[in-house]
């Protein structure tokens, strides 16, 4: 940490901006719960994207992970890819395989 008063004021300003941004995205999350998108799965997907953005801000700024070594970044990239894959699998799990117009149709 720096003892310079300007550096401290700059850090406090950054934390207040990030805190305000988190409040704004929390309001967006609540607003999205009242908005009806074309499918319920799309509502969940958009909500998860907003939640992931908020969690990333908290981890990078408030937990100071943006100043860590490259091993942390490799672990975070792996975690982000894993979470993205899980979100996509969760989204596709809501599809009805009998209605899905993918590779095959079971009933005509």
pLDDT digits (tens, 9 = 90+) for 48-85: 899 989 998 888 888 877 777 788 778 878 988 999 89
Is residue 11 included in any domain, yes or no?
yes
Q: Would you give the end-to-end CA distance of the chain in angstroms?
A: 68
Is residue 73 included in any domain, yes or no?
yes
Is residue 89 included in any domain, yes or no?
yes
- Cα gap 5→106, rounded to integer Å: 69
pLDDT above 80: residue 34: yes
Main-chain dihedrals φ then ψ at residue 47, nearest 5 degrees: -65, -40
Is residue 61 included in any domain, yes or no?
yes
**pLDDT at position 39:** 83
In three-state secondary structure terms, 5 is helix
Is residue 28 included in any domain, yes or no?
yes
Is residue 103 included in any domain, yes or no?
no
Is residue 108 included in any domain, yes or no?
no
Largest CA distance in the chain: 73
> Number of structural domains, the chain?
1
Range of the domain at 39: 5-93
pLDDT above 90: residue 21: yes
C-alpha angle 57-61-66 in degrees, rounded to nearest 5:
105
Least confident of 32-36, 49-53, 73-77, 93-97: 93-97
Find where tokens 């070594």 sit: 69
């Amino acid at each position: 940490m720096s003892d310079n008063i300007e550096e401290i004021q700059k850090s406090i300003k950054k934390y207040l901006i990030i805190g305000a941004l988190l409040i704004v995205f929390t309001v967006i999350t609540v607003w999205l719960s009242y908005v009806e998108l074309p499918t319920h799965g799309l509502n969940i997907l958009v909500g998860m994207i907003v939640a992931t953005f908020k969690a990333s801000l908290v981890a990078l700024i408030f937990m100071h992970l943006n100043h860590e070594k490259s091993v942390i970044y490799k672990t975070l990239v792996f975690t982000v890819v894993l979470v993205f894959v899980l979100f996509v699998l969760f989204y596709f799990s809501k599809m009805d395989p009998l209605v899905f117009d993918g590779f095959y149709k079971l009933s005509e």
